[in-house]
Amino acid sequence: MDGTAGDVTAYITSRDLDPAKMPAHVAIIMDGNGRWATSRGKNRLLGHTQGYHTLKQIVYESNRLGLTCITVYAFSTENWRRSGEEVGGLMALMLGAMQAEIEELIQTGIRVRVSGRLTELPADLREELQSATTRTEHLPGLIFNLAINYGGRAEVVDAVRAICKKVADGVLSEEDVTEGLIHDHLYSPDLPDPDLLIRTAGELRLSNFLLWETAYSEIYVTPVCWPDFDPDTLVQAIADFQKRTRKFGTVVEETIP
């Protein structure tokens, strides 16, 4: 994170936010890149390129705000169904972006993490992501978690498979299987569940993103397409989050003035 805790608090306050009510983990469904481009008569890949520049702004703003983690939906398990041109362009864009940004991420103290079925990615992209994870794992700042070749159902399936193997091997028994055990076998069990889930471009669905982890996340939907999302829009989403009363399934008595 940039500067001292006092610097972060001062920055949060300067953005008209309450430092005591900041979300620790923000998850983002970065939707609308293709629509943004086609509405301008451009190729969809131009929208993804602009989306990359937006993501860079949001990562550094999140770090300045002292967030613990952001998880962004970069490429889903379903996105392989898109055209070969678009999929190839996305893989090349992600590779080039990580190569271009890794040194600045390191200098800023940001940790790179990746969630998903990485073995199915192109070898050069997989190696670059693994290198970035290793080079940044000791850094003290924001955790920047990229969900790539990620699906919420696939994540649960992979967790169940790993648990079933341990039961078959005699390491675990059926009675050992609890919500906590399943959580411990997810892709990133050490990360806190998202406090806030942001979706851009106005769609009202989860799209197979963090299905287990977002059970009690607050959801904020904006009509803004991802390429037009900016730090001010992020702050608006957090300000809305700070007005919420989180119940986690319990009854919370609200004081009537």
Q: Is 89 a domain residue?
A: yes
Question: Active-site residue 176, yes or no?
Answer: no
Question: Active-site residue 79, yes or no?
Answer: yes
| CB 216 within 8 Å of CB 246 | yes
Query: Of residues 2, 43, 79, 228, which has the active-site annotation?
Result: 79
Mean per-residue pLDDT over the chain, rounded: 95
State how far the Cα of 201 lies from the Cα of 232, in Å rounded to an integer: 16
Residue 249 Cα distances to 22, 47, 70, 72, 186, angstroms: 21, 39, 24, 26, 23
pLDDT tens track for 155-178:
999 999 999 999 999 999 999 999
Reference 149, options 61, 77, 45; nearest CA is: 77
Cα end-to-end distance, the chain, whole Å? 39
Enter the DSSP assignment of 213.
T
Q: Is 250 a domain residue?
A: no
Q: Is 93 a domain residue?
A: yes
Q: Is 77 a domain residue?
A: yes
CA–CA–CA angle 184, 106, 126 (5° rounding): 55
> Which domain covers residue 215, as residue numbers?
25-239
pLDDT tens track for 43-89:
999 999 999 999 999 999 999 999 999 999 999 999 999 999 999 99
Share of the chain above pLDDT 70, in %: 96
**How do 25-29 and 218-221 pair as beta strands?**
unpaired
Q: Is 245 a domain residue?
A: no
Residue 166 one-letter amino acid: K
Reference 196, options 237, 233, 231; nearest CA is: 237
pTM: 0.94
State how far the Cα of 193 lies from the Cα of 152, in Å rounded to an integer: 13
CATH number at residue 193: 3.40.1180.10
190 C-beta neighbours (distance < 10 Å), count: 9
Q: Is 253 a domain residue?
A: no
Residue 114 Cα distances to 73, 86, 131, 146, angstroms: 10, 21, 11, 5
Q: Is 10 a domain residue?
A: no
CA quadruple 88, 89, 90, 93: dihedral sign: positive
Q: Is 68 a domain residue?
A: yes
Output b/e per residue, 62-77; b: 16+ Cβ within 10 A.
bbbbbbbbbbbbbbbb
Q: Where are the alpha helices (DSSP H) in the chain?
A: 5-14, 33-38, 44-64, 84-108, 123-136, 152-168, 179-184, 231-242
Query: pLDDT tens per residue, the chain (257 residues)?
Result: 446 788 999 999 999 999 999 999 999 999 999 999 999 999 999 999 999 999 999 999 999 999 999 999 999 999 999 999 999 999 999 999 999 999 999 999 999 999 999 999 999 999 999 999 999 999 999 999 999 999 999 999 999 999 999 999 999 999 999 999 999 999 999 999 999 999 999 999 999 999 999 999 999 999 999 999 999 999 999 999 999 998 887 766 655 55
Residue 227 one-letter amino acid: P
Query: Of residues 2, 7, 18, 31, which has the active-site annotation?
Result: 31
State how far the Cα of 161 lies from the Cα of 164, in Å rounded to an integer: 5
DSSP count for the chain of H helices, then E strands:
8, 6
Counted domains in the chain: 1
